[in-house]
Amino acid sequence: MPPQTLRVLYSAFRMAMLHWFADPQWVIPNVIAPFVFTFVALTLFKEASGSFGLYAVLGGGMMGMWGNTLYASGFAIDFERWQGTLEEVVAAPSNLLHVISGRSVSNALFGLTNMVAILLIAALAFRIPLGIANPILFALSIVLTLLSVSALGLIFASSFVLTRSAQVLTNGLEFPIYVISGSMFPIALLPFWVHPAAYILGPTWGIDAIRLATSPQYASQSFWAGTDVNVAIALNLAMTLLITLAYVAIAAFLFKKVETKSRREGTLVQA
């Protein structure tokens, strides 16, 4: 990656971080909501056997990460509009996709703090056994899932260049993607016709890798049941990476298209 692209990514990442810290009230709904969700799930099913606790904990974390990224990636464009900086940012010679990518990774990283908080609450308050079987693969799975979620957020962000009504799209898709990706329960429980949608979501494979790295007992419910756990994790990570790269390619194409369209129709500011 060219050094200038890395600088733009870092600078956008840093600017998003500065805004998060400057305005902490943003964090509250994104931290509290998944925490409450996990709390309720664990309280309702604390007597349930099997890996429900694991699903609830990791599901709550994923919810925080996805919710943050989807909301904030889309909001990144609207945020610039509200500040009146969208034109200034677009007028700069840097690629808008790189600017929003930096912000998107920053937002997903903030979402990750939810997962850490939820893991701690689950372990300390609910005494859910969360011994991570393979910490290195767990960390790698988290990073790739984070990037995959960010890349998916980028695709949605492109729609915000055209119209601020895209908020409806992100609001409407937050929960379906959360459910389809198998964050809370195995996708095997979902109707068969939903499965293809699950397979084209990078986070679906990332979550499978996270669960396998956390608990080998989960192997029987994995996509790769019957395969060696480490091989299954590697396969999941490869799928996550592949789909993430496809998302980035789609986002790059969409950003170019929508930017040209907005420059032709003059919708950059008033959309």
Partner 1 sequence: MLELNSQNKPESSSKAIVAEHLCKVFNVTKGFLRRTRTRIIAVKDVSFEVDYGELFGLVGPNGAGKTTTIKMLTTMLIPTSGNATVLGYNVQKDITRVREKIGIVLGGERGLYTRVSAIDNLRYFADLYGVPPTIRDKRVKELLQFMGLWERARDRVETYSKGMKQRLHLARGLINDPQLIFLDEPTIGLDPEIAKDTRSMIRDLVRKGKTILLTTHYMFEADELCKRIAVIRGGEIVALDTPSGLKKYVMDTSVVEIEGFGITDKEVAKFREIPEVLAVSADLSENKQVLKIQTPKGSEIISEVQEILKNSRIYDLKTKEPTLEDAYLRLVEGSIK
Binding-site string for partner 1 from residue 63 to residue 92, where x marks contact by CB under 8 A and - marks none: --------------------xxx-xxxxxx
Residue with smaller CB distance to partner 1, 83 or 230:
83
Q: Does 4 bind partner 1 (CB under 8 A)?
A: yes
Measuring CA to CA, which residue among 92, 97, 38 is closest to residue 62? 38
Smallest gap, in angstroms, from Cβ of residue 264 to partner 1?
5
Binding-site string for partner 1 from residue 221 to residue 260, where x marks contact by CB under 8 A and - marks none: ---------------------------------------x
Residue with smaller CB distance to partner 1, 8 or 201:
8
Smallest gap, in angstroms, from Cβ of residue 160 to partner 1?
17
3-state secondary structure the chain: CCHHHHHHHHHHHHHHHHHHHHCHHHHHHHHHHHHHHHHHHHHHCCCCCCCHHHHHHHHHHHHHHHHHHHHHHHHHHHHHHHHCCHHHHHHCCCCHHHHHHHHHHHHHHHHHHHHHHHHHHHHHHCCCCCCCCCHHHHHHHHHHHHHHHHHHHHHHHHHHHHCCCHHHHHHHHHHHHHHHCCCCCCHHHCCHHHHHHHHCCHHHHHHHHHHHHHCHHHHHHCCCCCCCHHHHHHHHHHHHHHHHHHHHHHHHHHHHHHHHHHHHHCCCCCC
The count of chain residues that interact with partner 1, using the rule CB under 8 A, is: 30
Residue with smaller CB distance to partner 1, 28 or 264:
264
Question: What residues between 14 and 33 interact with partner 1 by CB under 8 A?
Answer: 14-15, 18-19, 22-23
Q: What is d(CA 110, CA 67) in angstroms, rounded to the nearest whole number?
A: 11
Residue with smaller CB distance to partner 1, 14 or 257:
14
Smallest gap, in angstroms, from Cβ of residue 11 to partner 1?
4
Smallest gap, in angstroms, from Cβ of residue 7 to partner 1?
5
Q: Does 100 bind partner 1 (CB under 8 A)?
A: no
Residue with smaller CB distance to partner 1, 87 or 228:
87
Smallest gap, in angstroms, from Cβ of residue 58 to partner 1?
33
Q: Which tokens belong to 195?
A: 């499965």
Q: Does 99 bind partner 1 (CB under 8 A)?
A: yes
Residues that bind partner 1 (CB under 8 A): 4, 7-8, 10-12, 14-15, 18-19, 22-23, 83-85, 87-94, 99, 260, 263-266, 268
